[in-house]
Amino acid sequence: MRRCWGNEFENKATLIVDEVGYTPLDPIAANLLFHVVSARYERGSMVINQ
């Protein structure tokens, strides 16, 4: 993830991920979402909306 966006998602106070359940995630997208959540863990607030 850091190669693509650097600290873009880690430095924000709150990250909102909307419409996660709108379409099924393929394995690559699910892995990317996992890495975003892992990078944010205990570093900032995160809202995931289905």
Q: Is the pLDDT of residue 1 over 80?
A: no
Element (DSSP H or E) covering residue 46: strand 45-48
The pLDDT of residue 28 is 92
Q: Is the pLDDT of residue 7 over 80?
A: no
For 32-43, how does the pLDDT look when each residue is reduced to its tens digit (9 = 90+)? 889 888 888 888
- Full-model pTM: 0.67
Q: How far apart are alpha carbons 37 and 47 in whole angstroms?
A: 10
Cβ neighbours of 15 (radius 10 Å): 19
The pLDDT of residue 26 is 92
For 16-31, how does the pLDDT look when each residue is reduced to its tens digit (9 = 90+)? 888 888 889 899 989 9
